[in-house]
Amino acid sequence: MEEQFRPKETVGGSSPSRGTRATYGDRASRATPNFHISPDIPAATKDRDTIWLMAGRQLKDVVRAFGARDELSFRRAILEIIEEEEARHHFAIARDLRALLAAGSSSDLSQGVFALPDAPKSRDGEWDLVEVRMPSVELSDLVLDGKSIELLEGLSYEAARWEMVDAAGVPRRQKLLLTGPAGTGKTSAAEALASALGWPLAVVSVDTVVSSYLGETASNLRRVFDFAQQHRLVLVFDEFDALGRMRDDSSEHGEMKRVVSSFLQFLERYRGPSFIVAITNYPGLLDFALWRRFDEIGEFRLPSVHAIRRLLRVRSRSMPDKPFAIEATATALKGLPHAAVEKFVNDVRRRQALAEVVTPELVAEDLNNIRRRPW
What type of residue sits at position 358? V
| pLDDT tens column, 13-39 | 444 443 443 433 343 343 334 444 444
Q: What is the CATH number of the domain that holds 342?
A: 1.10.8.60
| pLDDT tens column, 247-258 | 666 555 566 778
Examine the domain organization and report whether 268 and 124 are in the same domain. Answer: yes
Is residue 5 domain-resident?
no
Is residue 4 domain-resident?
no
Examine the domain organization and report whether 286 and 327 are in the same domain. Answer: no
**Domain count across the chain:** 3
Distance from the first to the final alpha carbon of the chain: 75
What is the rounded distance in angstroms from the CA atom of residue 147 to the CA atom of residue 167? 28
pLDDT for 251 equals 54
Examine the domain organization and report whether 79 and 181 are in the same domain. Answer: no
Is residue 55 domain-resident?
yes
> Residue 68 carries which DSSP code?
T
Examine the domain organization and report whether 162 and 240 are in the same domain. Answer: yes
Task: Please give the average per-residue pLDDT across 130-146, as a whole number.
Answer: 92
- Domain with 24, as residue range(s), is 11-108
Q: How far is CA 349 from the centre of its chain?
A: 27
Examine the domain organization and report whether 203 and 269 are in the same domain. Answer: yes
β-bridge partners, 177? 278, 297
pLDDT for 5 equals 42
Q: 307 with 282: CB under 8 angstroms?
A: no
Residue 63: φ, ψ to 5°: -65, -45
Which of the pair, 8 or 52, is modelled with greater confidence?
A: 52
pTM of the model: 0.70
What average pLDDT does the structure give for the chain?
81
Is residue 1 domain-resident?
no
Is residue 3 domain-resident?
no
Task: Please give the average per-residue pLDDT across 172-185, as a whole number.
Answer: 96
pLDDT band at 173 (very low <50, low <70, confident <90, very high): very high
Pick the last residue of a domain from 54, 84, 108: 108
Share of the chain above pLDDT 90, in %: 52
pLDDT for 241 equals 87
Distances (CA, A) of 70 to 77, 108, 236: 11, 16, 22
pLDDT for 303 equals 96
pLDDT for 23 equals 38
Examine the domain organization and report whether 194 and 280 are in the same domain. Answer: yes
pLDDT for 2 equals 43
Is residue 323 domain-resident?
yes
Which of the pair, 108 or 265, is modelled with greater confidence?
A: 265
pLDDT band at 6 (very low <50, low <70, confident <90, very high): very low
Q: Which of 41-55, 251-265, 309-323 has the lowest mean pLDDT?
A: 41-55
Closest CA to 142 of 68, 100, 210, 196: 196
Is residue 325 domain-resident?
yes
What is the rounded distance in angstroms from the CA atom of residue 129 to the CA atom of residue 355? 42
What is the rounded distance in angstroms from the CA atom of residue 181 to the CA atom of residue 319? 29
Examine the domain organization and report whether 141 and 97 are in the same domain. Answer: no
HEC string of 315-343?
Answer: HCCCCCCCCCCHHHHHHHCCCCCHHHHHH
Residue 371 has pLDDT above 80, yes or no: yes
| pLDDT tens column, 54-92 | 566 777 777 777 766 666 677 778 888 888 887 787 877
Q: What is the CATH number of the domain that holds 266?
A: 3.40.50.300
Examine the domain organization and report whether 167 and 230 are in the same domain. Answer: yes
Pick the last residue of a domain from 55, 77, 108: 108
> Residue 22 carries which DSSP code?
-
Examine the domain organization and report whether 289 and 174 are in the same domain. Answer: yes
pLDDT for 17 equals 43
Examine the domain organization and report whether 288 and 165 are in the same domain. Answer: yes
What is the rounded distance in angstroms from the CA atom of residue 356 to the CA atom of residue 352? 7
What type of residue sits at position 160? A
pLDDT band at 337 (very low <50, low <70, confident <90, very high): very high
With a CB cutoff of 8 Å and minimum separation 6, the contacts of 106 are 134, 136
Is residue 240 domain-resident?
yes
Pick the last residue of a domain from 77, 108, 139: 108
pLDDT for 107 equals 44
Examine the domain organization and report whether 75 and 218 are in the same domain. Answer: no
pLDDT band at 1 (very low <50, low <70, confident <90, very high): very low
Examine the domain organization and report whether 284 and 232 are in the same domain. Answer: yes
pLDDT for 13 equals 43
What is the rounded distance in angstroms from the CA atom of residue 180 to the CA atom of residue 300? 5
